[in-house]
């Protein structure tokens, strides 16, 4: 059978960056990965030439009929949160939702999925500037205003711009596992994994860049040594800062304190081992990821990943098996 078909919806006054992210992730051939990569196509939401941000005009090779057989549909932003999407597009999205296609949006694209009625009862996110408007207009859904992306299974939504890359890499991770997602991220020269619950940037005074890059170097070192034992005091000493200054600077840069950030890095390590090492016991994974005990990993895993390590491993095995057999 044909491989997984991803379709991006293009529209007049297209958001170029968001669209480009989708193309970069799914359209490029990746023979070096050794897996059957996605098929990718673009369909037009309406007739006529499509004007894109930056003065570019493009034409899409397919009509909305292509959505009838798409496995994943991505709405890369929307031209105006206050402008209703075309009804033919909404009808196709409703039909796709009914047959179980995966619907994804980046930034303001969530307004298109909401207008189609596909998000009722779901938790979603969007750019922090649009969160209040989205919640007021569609009270039947729950908006997580600070999340980078939210995965609700068949519905996956992301915040603005670069958070779309995080969401798209998350889809690759869901479909092919951590090892493949990490190699795709490496080719993109971006971090391999940012948890969807990580805080979005919000307008606030940024700390002065007068530490000579100490914090950035510390974060890189922590990521490389996430499984090792750390304290705020030892991390502050490595960064040549006081503990209080480290806590403040770390939260300003990442949205988390150092310990919570480290826990999420360890969860990412555990997920990778759960996906790629099926014979490794949960206890060994907990030790290798730096949790110290199986119970500690289970507690943090359930809090952050909203499931247990065993259920996550089983879910990944089912999803990966379904994709390979598609």
The order of strands in the sheet holding 5-10 is 39-44, 5-10, 72-76, 102-106, 155-158, 149-151
Q: What percent of the chain has pLDDT over 70?
A: 90
Cα 66 from Cα 101, distance rounded (Å): 12
Least-confidence region, from 94-103, 105-114, 183-192: 183-192
Kindly state the average pLDDT of the residues 190-209. Answer: 50
Strands 50-52 and 56-58: antiparallel
CATH number of 5-188: 3.40.50.880
Q: Using alpha carbons only, what angle is made at residue 204 by residues 199 and 205, rounded to the nearest 5 degrees?
A: 130
Q: How many residues does the chain have?
A: 326
Fold held by 205-326: Arc Repressor Mutant, subunit A (1.10.10)
Kindly state the average pLDDT of the residues 33-39. Answer: 93
- Whether 186 has a pLDDT exceeding 80, the answer reads yes
Kindly state the average pLDDT of the residues 129-153. Answer: 92
Collapsed DSSP state (helix, strand, coil) of residue 303: helix
**Residues 140/239, Cβ–Cβ less than 8 Å:** no
Domain segments of the chain: what residues? Answer: 5-188, 205-326
pLDDT at position 206 is 40
* pLDDT band of 320, cuts 50, 70, 90: low
Q: pLDDT tens for residues 211-252? A: 567 888 898 899 889 999 999 999 999 999 999 999 998 887
* pLDDT band of 38, cuts 50, 70, 90: very high
Kindly state the average pLDDT of the residues 288-316. Answer: 89
Kindly state the average pLDDT of the residues 20-47. Answer: 94
Q: pLDDT tens for residues 155-174? A: 999 998 788 998 999 999 88
* Residue with token string 């209040």: 132
Q: Is the pTM of this model over 0.85?
A: no
Distances (CA, A) of 13 to 74, 87, 220: 16, 17, 38
**Residues 4/38, Cβ–Cβ less than 8 Å:** yes
Kindly state the average pLDDT of the residues 77-106. Answer: 97
pLDDT at position 203 is 39
Kindly state the average pLDDT of the residues 125-136. Answer: 94
């Amino acid at each position: 059978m044909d491989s997984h078909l991803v379709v991006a919806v293009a529209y007049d006054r297209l958001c170029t960056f968001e669209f480009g992210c989708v193309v970069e992730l799914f359209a490029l051939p990746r023979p070096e990965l050794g897996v059957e990569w996605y098929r990718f196509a673009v369909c037009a939401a309406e007739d006529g030439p499509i004007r894109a941000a930056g003065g570019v005009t493009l034409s899409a090779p397919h009509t909305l009929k292509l959505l009838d057989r798409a496995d994943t549909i991505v709405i890369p932003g929307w031209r105006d949160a206050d402008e209703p999407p075309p009804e033919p597009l909404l009808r196709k999205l409703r039909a796709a939702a009914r047959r179980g296609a995966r619907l994804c949006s980046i930034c303001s694209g969530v307004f298109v999925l909401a207008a189609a009625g596909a998000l009722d009862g779901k938790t979603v996110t969007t750019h922090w500037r649009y969160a209040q408007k989205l919640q007021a207009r569609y009270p039947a859904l729950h908006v997580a205003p600070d999340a980078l992306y939210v995965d609700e299974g068949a519905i996956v939504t992301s915040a603005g711009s670069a958070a779309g890359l995080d969401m798209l890499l998350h889809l690759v991770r869901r479909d092919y596992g951590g090892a493949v997602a990490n190699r795709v991220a490496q080719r993109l020269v971006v971090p391999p994994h940012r948890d969807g619950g990580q805080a979005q940037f919000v307008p606030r005074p940024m700390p002065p860049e007068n530490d000579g890059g100490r914090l950035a170097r510390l974060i890189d070192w922590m990521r490389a040594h996430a499984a090792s034992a750390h304290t705020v005091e030892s991390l502050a000493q490595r960064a040549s800062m006081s503990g209080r200054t480290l806590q403040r600077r770390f939260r300003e840069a990442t949205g988390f304190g150092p310990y919570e950030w480290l826990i999420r890095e360890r969860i990412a390590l555990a997920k990778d081992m759960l996906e790629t090492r099926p014979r490794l016991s949960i206890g060994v994974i907990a030790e290798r990821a730096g949790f110290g005990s199986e119970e500690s990993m289970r507690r943090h895993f359930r809090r952050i990943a909203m499931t247990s390590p065993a259920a996550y491993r089983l879910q990944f095995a089912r999803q990966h098996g379904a994709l390979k057999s598609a």
